[in-house]
Every structure is written in C-alpha cells, then in structure tokens.
C-alpha cells in the first residue's frame, strides 16, 4: 500500500510511475490516458484480469474527478482541477487521485469509504448489486456505484481528507490492484 507521505518520493522515481496528470480532466484526455495504460500493460505482459482492473479503477477515478469538476465549474466555487497517477510498487499496481471537494460531499463520501473498507468481498458484491438494482433514473451520479466498482477490483483502498479551510477538502484516494 502506498501512503501519501511516499508520493513525493514516488514521483521522483520515474521508473515506477507510468502515468501522471494534473489539471482539468476531459473525456478525450481520459480515453487517451487509458490508451497509454493499455500499451504500458501490454509491454508488462500482465494478465487480462489485472490489466482490466487497472483500466477500470483508472477510469472510475478519472471520470469521478471530471464529473466533479463539471459540477464545481457550474457553481464556480473552487478550483476544479485534479491529479491522477498510476504506478507500481513491490509488484503491485496502484492508481491514486486527488481533487478538491466540498465539506458536504466529504460527508457523503467518507461513510461510504468506511463501509467499503470494513466490508468483505461478498458484502461488496451484494452492496454493488443492490445499488445497481435500485434507482432506475439515477444514471448520472451512479449513487456510489463507482466506489463499489473500484472496491470490487481493489486489493486495498487508502484515502485521506485534508482540510483546506473554508469548508473545502483535498480528497485523496489510492487504490492498490
């Protein structure tokens, strides 16, 4: 598991970071970066399972930042930019993302993350299916389905909220695959 304290040193060791991006997230950028990852894992000769898990976790985290930034831009409250990177540590792959969220959203996300961390794989699967079944109209935000999608593919999830004052927080999440 990668801790946030290690990130700086990780970023300096370019041999294990495949991809890093900071800024505004758009769909074409996400698709482009996914393409880069596909090439990367092809060369690493990873199993299809691990490869697809990396792609899906990457896409979920990146689209989450993108969707959140759209919402933020509409409200014009704060900086909508985000950060994402994909790397490898001790033979395990990880994807981390960071963006700024409101206090209200922190309060929504944090209990979900806590629940996921305490859940068994079976419980995550059940929760995933229950949420997918419910709320036929809630396509846009997925009602937490994205986090469960990540949890299904993850070996470990670490997260942190860092207070930025004025009811804003850095939302940092690292997923090991």
Partner 1 sequence: MKELRIEASQYTPQISMDAQKGIIEIAGKSYPENTFEFYKPVIEWLEEYFINPQQDTAVNMEIVYFNSSSSKLFFDFFDILEENQDKTKITINWIYDKENESAKEAGEEFQEDFESLEMNLQEKTKI
Q: Taking contact as CB under 8 A, which single stretch among the options 49-57, 75-83, 100-108, 155-163 is the one that binds partner 1?
A: 49-57
Told to check if 56 binds partner 1 by CB under 8 A, we report: yes
Told to check if 73 binds partner 1 by CB under 8 A, we report: no
Task: Rule CB under 8 A: choose which of 19, 34, 161, 170 binds partner 1.
Answer: 34
Q: What is the SS3 string spanning 89-124?
A: ECCEEEEEEEEEEEHHHHHHHHHHHHHHHHCCHHHH
Told to check if 176 binds partner 1 by CB under 8 A, we report: no
Told to check if 12 binds partner 1 by CB under 8 A, we report: no
Task: Rule CB under 8 A: choose which of 18, 55, 93, 159 binds partner 1.
Answer: 55
Told to check if 74 binds partner 1 by CB under 8 A, we report: no
Comparing CB distances to partner 1, the nearer of 9 and 133 is 133
Please list, in sequence order, all residues whose beta carbon lies within 8 angstroms of the beta carbon of residue 40, skipping any fewer than 6 positions away. Answer: 18, 19
Spatial separation of the C-alpha atoms in residues 58 and 64, rounded to whole Å: 10
Comparing CB distances to partner 1, the nearer of 7 and 64 is 64
Handedness of CA 41, 44, 45, 49 (dihedral sign): negative
Comparing CB distances to partner 1, the nearer of 74 and 136 is 136
Task: Rule CB under 8 A: choose which of 16, 52, 77, 170 binds partner 1.
Answer: 52
Plot region of 24 (φ>0 → left; ψ -120 to 50 → alpha; else → beta): beta
Is-contact 164 100, C-beta < 8 A? yes
Plot region of 32 (φ>0 → left; ψ -120 to 50 → alpha; else → beta): alpha
Task: Identify the residue whose tokens are 């990130």.
Answer: 7
Is-contact 156 1, C-beta < 8 A? yes
Task: Rule CB under 8 A: choose which of 146, 171, 173, 175 binds partner 1.
Answer: 146
Comparing CB distances to partner 1, the nearer of 59 and 96 is 59
Residues contributing to the site for partner 1 (CB under 8 A)? 27, 30-32, 34-35, 47-49, 52-53, 55-56, 59-60, 63, 66, 125, 129, 132-133, 136, 138-140, 142, 145-146, 148-149, 153
């Amino acid at each position: 598991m990668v801790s946030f304290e290690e990130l700086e040193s990780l970023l300096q060791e370019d041999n294990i970071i495949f991809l890093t991006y900071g800024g505004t997230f758009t769909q074409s950028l996400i698709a482009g970066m996914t393409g880069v990852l596909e090439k990367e894992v092809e060369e690493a000769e990873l199993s299809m399972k691990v490869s697809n898990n990396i792609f899906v976790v990457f896409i979920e985290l990146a689209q989450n930042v993108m969707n959140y930034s759209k919402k933020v831009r509409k409200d014009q409250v704060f900086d909508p930019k985000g950060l994402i990177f994909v790397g490898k540590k001790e033979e395990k792959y990880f994807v981390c993302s960071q963006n700024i969220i409101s206090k209200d959203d922190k309060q929504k996300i944090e209990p979900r993350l806590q629940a996921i961390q305490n859940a068994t794989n079976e419980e995550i699967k059940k929760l995933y299916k229950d949420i997918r079944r419910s709320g036929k109209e809630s396509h846009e935000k997925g009602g937490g389905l994205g986090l469960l999608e990540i949890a299904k593919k993850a070996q470990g999830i670490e997260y942190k909220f860092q207070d930025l004052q004025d009811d804003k927080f850095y939302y940092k999440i690292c997923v090991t695959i």
